[in-house]
Amino acid sequence: MISASSIQSLFQEYFDAYSQQDAAGCASFYADDAQLFTSFGPPLIGASVIRGAHSEWFEEGEQNKTWALEYERSDANTCACLISFSSDVPTSSGGLERSTCHSLAALERDPNGQWTIQIMSMTLADAA
């Protein structure tokens, strides 16, 4: 079983990599065959595709990302959690607008004992 504090630490490391615009670092939290679903495009399948998507997202100019672990349940080898996050995103008029998303994630312990994201579904929580 993984504790809520361990999940908190894992996602803090993920968001630290995100804030450093480290696409490879972000992708390292995903299983090789992970699936990422977003409100912004087609499903992303595989850590290498997820890494490429992160690189593209960094170019969009998002700023001031904050996050919170809202829910976590786990057993010895699986974990489900809900994360909310907000950030300032550029608008077509050149300003910034605060946007909020929710991510439901399924994690599994890999053969080396490391927790990896198997599936993540990100949903835009507010209307753009």
The tens digit of pLDDT for each residue in 59-118 reads 988 889 999 999 999 999 999 999 999 999 999 999 999 999 999 999 999 888 899 999
Q: What radius of gyration, in Å, describes the C-alpha atoms of the chain?
A: 14
pTM of this structure:
0.89
83: β partners: 69, 103
Separation between Cα atoms, residue 52 and residue 39, nearest integer Å: 17
Q: Residue 126 above 70 pLDDT? A: no
Compute the distance between CA of residue 125 and CA of residue 13 in angstroms, rounded to an integer: 23
Spatial strand order of the sheet with 41-45 comes to 41-45, 30-38, 115-124, 96-109, 78-90, 63-74
String of DSSP letters for 23-43 = HHHHHTTEEEEEEEEETTEEE
> For residue 128, what pLDDT is reported?
47
